[in-house]
Amino acid sequence: ALSGLGIVPLPRFMATEALASGALVPVLPGWRSEPIPLYIVYPPNRHLSNKVRVFVDWLVRLLAEAQLGKPA
């Protein structure tokens, strides 16, 4: 979209800076696509490390805030 290739569907969190600067403008502001499921997969027979747990919690929070339009 920034290269002039036309209209693109983007998650708002990916376009926040371009929207704020005016480089991109919303075309259909009231339209929302269906949510796309996201899965985090790890072996079930292994202990979930603290690093993975922290990452998963951070990702869930980030995506929830992005969906609600709140800054991360």
The pTM of the full predicted model, rounded to 2 decimals, is 0.54
* Dist CA 30 CA 16 (whole Å): 16
pLDDT exceeds 60 at position 43 = yes
pLDDT exceeds 70 at position 70 = no
Q: Are 11 and 66 in contact (CB under 8 A)?
A: yes
Provide the pLDDT confidence category of residue 72 given band limits of 50, 70 and 90: very low
Q: Residue 27 gets which letter from DSSP? A: S
pLDDT exceeds 80 at position 71 = no
Residues 72 and 40 in one domain: yes
pLDDT of 23-39, one tens digit each? 999 998 888 888 778 88
Q: Which domain holds residue 7?
A: 1-32
Q: Are 67 and 13 in contact (CB under 8 A)?
A: no
pLDDT at residue 68, as a whole number: 65
| Counted domains in the chain | 2
Residues 23 and 51 in one domain: no
